[in-house]
């Protein structure tokens, strides 16, 4: 995109309403604008980040065999009456009526709807196991929307649902999903720690929250430093072998991790590398057995001919919350430092002298080579303004084109994450970024 013709409204001043750094930077870098309390419009650069995160989430869900689909945002109240949650959910649920006075709601989550869809078509154990997911907007009328997109009322969530014949099968689905989460967060450039969470009436250890470490996080966490060095990429944890899954799960749940409420100092006495920090919840997975299949009458024929209720689990990732959480993890005083995997643009091209024939030509050449993945700062502004805006927006690379270098065929390449700068020939610079 050409910055002179883009809606990326950067702000010099710090917006007064923003209490935490990610919210301030999202407004200042022109990523979002609030349209009502806890409801945001995603402007072009912000929308690109959101889509990049969603793409990585999607690829890692697909990799474990989960099926991508899309359920509507508006749901009939009737469904939620069959599970008993219509009354139980309380004021966080946004309730609506259509012109025929039928009760509807804006979905805060989709257990009821997926169970209903599944029960209409799946009748036999032969069709199990299955996992389904969608990435869709949710609405929860939070008492205190705050911290920008981190606790919004409308937010984008990936929610997946697993259906297995029995408990043993559900455990395999659960572990597979945990592996997918660890891979997803690693690709997003962050360490997320799985914390055992309240699992409700069913018990067991099959509920985990995934916490990204950041000083402004809402919860205090304790964890074993062993988590910091783990690598989930590559074939170490094959997702076809149950033995590997077992090994993975044991490794993930053996080292200590706890939130403040669950922290028992005595239990940590022997842990040599205890770390303490603050964290942001970016995902939550849990097994809930037949909680929905039972009351909603989802039954399949078992191998012995009896009708049984499938065991289910649900698995959420806060896709829009992650945008804020990643900024909390990656920023400095000057602005955002996007990880390469999610940045709205691979690079910014800074033309320091718009109108100078050599500068314009080199910039246009570079811009064409990026095929839409670069932001070209072609504004007739001072160099200082361009440097500040590029640092604020957080592009992983800055390609600075000035009259002196242009005459000599060189550009200055800056790596935002480290601040490292290099004077390079044009081709060498492009090779470093585009590989």
Binding residues for ligand ATP, per CB under 6 A?
A: 140, 142, 151-152, 155, 157, 281-284, 316, 318, 320-321
Q: Which residue has the tokens 């309390």?
A: 37
145 or 396, CB closer to ligand ATP? 145
CB of 80 to ligand ATP, least distance (A): 15
How far is residue 412's CA from residue 425's CA, in Å, rounded to a whole number?
9
CB of 319 to ligand ATP, least distance (A): 8
318 or 396, CB closer to ligand ATP? 318
24 or 151, CB closer to ligand ATP? 151
| Beta carbons within 10 angstroms of residue 74's beta carbon | 13
Give the three-state DSSP class for 172.
Answer: helix
Residue nearest to ligand ATP (CB): 318
CB of 350 to ligand ATP, least distance (A): 34
Nearest of 385, 380, 411, 383 to residue 397 by alpha carbon: 411
Q: What spatial distance separates the first Cα and last Cα of the chain, rounded to whole Å?
A: 21
The DSSP H or E segment spanning 45 is helix 44-63
47 or 364, CB closer to ligand ATP? 47
277 or 424, CB closer to ligand ATP? 277
281 or 389, CB closer to ligand ATP? 281
Transcribe 352-401 into DSSP letters.
Answer: SSTT-HHHHHHHHHHHHHTTTSEEEE--S--HHHHHHHHHHHT-SEEEEE
Report whether 237 contacts 179 (CB < 8 A).
yes
CB of 321 to ligand ATP, least distance (A): 4
CB of 99 to ligand ATP, least distance (A): 29
Secondary structure letter of residue 328 according to DSSP: H
Report whether 323 contacts 149 (CB < 8 A).
yes
How far is residue 20's CA from residue 25's CA, in Å, rounded to a whole number?
9
CB of 327 to ligand ATP, least distance (A): 14
CB of 130 to ligand ATP, least distance (A): 21
125 or 330, CB closer to ligand ATP? 330
């Amino acid at each position: 995109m050409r910055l002179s013709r883009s809606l990326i409204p950067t702000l010099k001043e710090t917006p007064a309403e923003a209490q935490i750094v990610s919210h301030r930077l999202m407004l200042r870098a022109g990523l979002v604008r609030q349209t009502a309390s806890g409801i945001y419009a995603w402007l072009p650069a912000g929308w690109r980040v959101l889509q990049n995160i969603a793409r990585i989430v999607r690829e890692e869900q697909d990799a474990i065999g989960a099926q991508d689909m899309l359920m509507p945002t508006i749901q009939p109240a009737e469904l939620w009456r069959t599970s008993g949650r219509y009354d139980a959910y309380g004021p966080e649920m946004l309730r609506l009526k259509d012109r025929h006075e039928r009760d509807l709601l804006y979905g805060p989550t989709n257990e009821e709807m997926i169970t209903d869809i599944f029960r209409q078509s799946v009748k036999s154990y032969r069709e199990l196991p299955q996992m389904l997911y969608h990435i869709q907007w949710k609405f929860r009328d939070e008492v205190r929307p705050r911290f920008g997109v981190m606790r919004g009322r409308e937010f984008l969530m990936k929610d997946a649902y697993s259906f297995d014949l029995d408990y043993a099968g559900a455990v395999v689905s659960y572990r597979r999903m945990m592996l997918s989460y660890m891979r997803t967060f690693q690709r997003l450039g962050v360490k997320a720690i799985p914390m055992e969470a309240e699992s409700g009436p069913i018990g067991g250890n099959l509920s985990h929250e995934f916490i990204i470490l950041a000083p402004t996080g809402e919860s205090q966490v304790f964890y074993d430093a062993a988590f910091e060095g783990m690598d989930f990429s590559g074939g170490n944890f094959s997702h076809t072998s149950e033995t590997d899954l077992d090994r993975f799960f044991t490794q993930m749940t053996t080292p200590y991790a706890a939130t403040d409420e669950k922290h028992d100092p005595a239990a940590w006495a022997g842990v040599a590398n205890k770390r303490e920090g603050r964290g942001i919840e970016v995902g939550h997975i849990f097994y809930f057995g037949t909680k929905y299949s039972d009351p909603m009458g989802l039954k399949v024929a078992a191998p012995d001919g009896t009708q049984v209720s499938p065991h289910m689990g649900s698995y959420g990732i806060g896709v829009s919350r992650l945008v804020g959480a990643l900024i909390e993890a990656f920023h400095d005083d000057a602005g955002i430092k996007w990880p390469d995997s999610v940045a709205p643009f691979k690079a910014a091209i800074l033309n320091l002298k718009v109108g100078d024939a050599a500068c314009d030509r080199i910039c246009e050449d570079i811009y064409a080579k990026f095929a839409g993945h670069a932001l070209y700062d072609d504004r007739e502004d001072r160099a200082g303004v361009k440097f500040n805006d590029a640092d604020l927006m957080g592009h992983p690379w800055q390609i600075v084109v000035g009259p002196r270098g242009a005459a000599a065929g060189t550009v200055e390449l800056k790596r935002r994450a480290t601040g490292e700068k290099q004077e390079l020939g044009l081709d060498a610079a492009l090779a470093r970024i585009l590989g």
